[in-house]
Structure 1
Amino acid sequence: MLKGIDHRLNSDVLGTLRAMGHGDTIVLVDRNFPSSSMAKSTVHGSPLFMENLSAADVAKAILSVMPVDNFVDDYALAMEVVGAPDETPDVQKEVEAALKTAEGSDKALTKIERFAFYEAAKNAYAIVQTGETRFYGCFIFKKGVIAPDQLFEV
């Protein structure tokens, strides 16, 4: 256990988040997503797992240590519902609430078409498979920066 670090973050996920740079993306996916095949083309090369947690719980944990790049409009993406692009499932509402709480922002998730989401996932730094069982529990977050005045002194 570490002080100040969400206990749900395992060492593989923490190491990956630490290695990512500004503008790199991390993908959070539900249990139905083809994470093993898609992750082969990411920088990390294999999926990371947080399988006992919902998408919202994983988002909360990751966003507790990783800033998002809120200088761009597409810093937080969600896979749009096939045939109903304006629909927002509960799982997406929960992740959006976690994002707003972590960032102190009122920006909404940007929706992205299913196959465009797959292409974006292939180009990500890493894919994290959650234990989310609900459909459309797939998200992409773009890493931001931490300002010098927000760093802890050693």
Structure 2
Amino acid sequence: MLKNLSPLLSGALLSALDSMKDGETLTLVGSGYPENTINTPVVHLEDDTTTEAAAEAILSVFPLDNIHPSPIAFLDLAGEPYDVPDVAFAVNGIASDAELRRVPMERLGLDEFLDQARTSSVIVRVGSDAPPCAFLFRRGAL
């Protein structure tokens, strides 16, 4: 174990994050996500890992893009323009805390989300009992 490093950051996940280049995308998914439709390496976290815990661990070492207008996108299955799911609200707060700035986040419909996820460098899958959710994190420079 490394000092001050989340135990959720396994060797496989750290290696995947380290190999990513600026502008590449990581996809963080919960249950119900059709990961088998995308030909991207998948890192599975423990079954009891929540989306929020995974986001906090990843964003503690993963710099978000500060040039792109929205370095985070979330899959919006509800289609309600003024309703942000609790998990999306929480992940946005975690990202803003990690970046020490307000991080804009956009919502994407299923087709647009899947199109962008297909170009992801890695998919991180949280526990099976997580609420249906999915996020795209665009990597920035340190």
- TM-score, normalised to structure 1, is 0.84
Letter paired with 1:22: D
Preserved CA contact (<8 Å) 2:70 2:104: no
Preserved CA contact (<8 Å) 2:64 2:71: yes
Which has the higher relative contact order, 1 or 2, with Cα contacts under 8 A spaced 6 or more apart? 2
Q: Is structure 2 residue 53 aligned with structure 1 residue 57?
A: yes
The residue that corresponds to 2:130 in the other structure is 133
Which of 107, 111, 115 is the matching residue for 1:111?
Answer: 107
CA distance in 2, matches of 1:2, 1:83: 42
Q: Shift of residue 48 of structure 1?
A: 0.9
For residue 124 of structure 1, give the secondary structure of its aligned residue in structure 2.
coil
In structure 2, list runs of 5 or more residues that go unmatched. none
Residue identity (%)? 28
Aligned CA-pair RMSD: 1.4
State how 1:40-55 maps to structure 2 within 5 Å: 40=39, 42=40, 46-51=41-46, 52-55=48-51
Q: Shift of residue 110 of structure 1?
A: 1.1
Preserved CA contact (<8 Å) 1:36 1:47: no
Q: Is structure 2 residue 129 aligned with structure 1 residue 143?
A: no
CA distance in 2, matches of 1:108, 1:53: 25
Please list every run of at least 4 consecutive aligned residues from structure 1 whose deviation after the TM superposition is greater than 2 angstroms.
Answer: none
Letter paired with 1:120: Q
For residue 6 of structure 2, give the secondary structure of its aligned residue in structure 1.
coil
Which of 76, 82, 86 is the matching residue for 1:86?
Answer: 82
CA distance in 2, matches of 1:141, 1:4: 22
CA distance in 2, matches of 1:53, 1:105: 26
CA distance in 2, matches of 1:120, 1:55: 19
Count residues in correspondence.
140
The residue that corresponds to 1:150 in the other structure is none
Larger radius of gyration: 1
Q: Shift of residue 81 of structure 1?
A: 3.1
- TM-score, normalised to structure 2, is 0.91
The residue that corresponds to 1:34 in the other structure is 34
CA distance in 2, matches of 1:82, 1:107: 22
Which of 97, 103, 116 is the matching residue for 1:101?
Answer: 97
Moved more, 100-109 or 19-28: 100-109
Preserved CA contact (<8 Å) 2:55 2:94: yes
Q: Is structure 2 residue 20 aligned with structure 1 residue 20?
A: yes
